[in-house]
Structure 1
């Protein structure tokens, strides 16, 4: 087993007033040659957007884009004709493929929104752009793994054009789950949303992360109540 630790305070940070964004990997004005990606995982941004603000319409291509709201309401619009909002306990995916333009705004004029913006390199380029949005039940991750993304349209959750699996779990203090890797040549990137977690002999605090390769399974134990995002991705 090989591990790499990314502490919360080691992330890049941009403060634009209305937008406060932590970058786990190099993004926009933050460039760190040692923090370009973890396998197919290219972007992991932890964003705060003030009320009445957001990202105007802008283009993407050949990227799998995932949004996970943590607080508040995120309003989405795109060139495929999709318009709507997403909230906590919903997952949004967009396969940019041959090209798509979208906007992401705070759905409230007053309250802030916090969300994770995640990009993965696809396993197939120039696909027809695609959008999906699902609701998930928080009860389904209480002290167990809840799959929210996979490569297979027939599996639990939604799917993307990549051999990647995302799971969420909410662990009570002292509880553990064991994650078994599903793919070949994959690694797992574990991002602690809240609480305190022990993984691979390391203690993670809020917004810390650990990347793990050369293993087939990983045990996660909550030292304090913990909310966790687990991302298994190809390493090549």
Structure 2
């Protein structure tokens, strides 16, 4: 089963400095049919105006992954961490027992990003909070999957999270097909750019594809495409 979530059907809010789309219920947007997908609770598609951002605010027991699509985001938190994550890079904050952070676009141009929240495994809640970031050059993802963040065995090169889930990225040239063994787990796929066919279903730029009870994905690029996929336990 693949449930297409067209971009125009997503929840939305525009605060001036922040123009955002919600794949799942969040903030003032509530849809009982879109409360999450497996352990994936939030997928926000954010455009943050230059010289603006999110002031300090707290989180606990949530794995927060930021995938920067253009521009850059600057992170500061109550542990003393500070870092700038630019387009092509990923940051992960495991909120654990509690952390306060701020995310600002200090650049002179708009920053666009995906922010994903994944619920930690029950036996991994209440851990010390942590933050990390890592570059993932798009050239190294050409025609293949790169695991960006993961709590699964064998993904030691990825940023760690406290969940039985995996966040992957890939770029596919028009006409090429990339496969992924989902093994019946839940998947949620979004093309950051380009257009795809996922097991024969057309998925346009920034649409969501919620996938369940499928063993293998066959992802054909109709245009040069940059994609993000979350593989999560049900």
- What band does the TM-score fall into relative to the shorter chain? over 0.9
Once the two structures are superposed, residues 119-145 of structure 1 have per-residue CA deviations (whole angstroms, 9 ceiling, x without a partner) of 010002111101111111212111111
Q: Show the 5 A alignment for 1:1-236.
A: 2-108=1-107, 110-123=108-121, 124-151=124-151, 152=153, 155-181=156-182, 186-235=185-234
Retained in 1: the 8 A contact 2:147–2:155?
A: no
Cα drift, residue 177 of structure 1: 0.8
| Equivalent pairs, count | 231
Distance in 2 of aligned mates of 1:212 and 1:12: 19
RMSD of aligned residue pairs (Cα, Å) = 1.3
Q: Runs of 5+ in structure 1 lacking a partner?
A: none
Q: CA deviation at 1:153?
A: 7.9
Give the match's secondary structure for 1:9.
helix
Q: CA deviation at 1:215?
A: 2.2
Q: What TM-score, normalized to structure 2?
A: 0.95
Contact residue 75 and residue 102 of structure 2 kept, 8 A? yes
Q: Structure 1-normalised TM-score? A: 0.94
**Which sits farther off after the overlay, 150-159 or 84-93?**
150-159
Kept after mapping to 2: 8 A contact 1:85/1:107: no
Give secondary structure in 1 for the equivalent of 2:223: strand
1:213 deviation in Å? 1.4
Deviations 1:64-114 (A, max 9, x none): 001111111111100111012110121100110110000000021x21111
Unmatched runs of 5 consecutive residues or more in structure 2: none
- Check the 8 A contact 2:69/2:114 in 1, yes or no: yes
Alpha-carbon distance in structure 2 between the residues aligned to 1:13 and 1:206? 16
Would the aligned equivalents of 1:153 and 1:159 in 2 still touch at CA under 8 Å? no
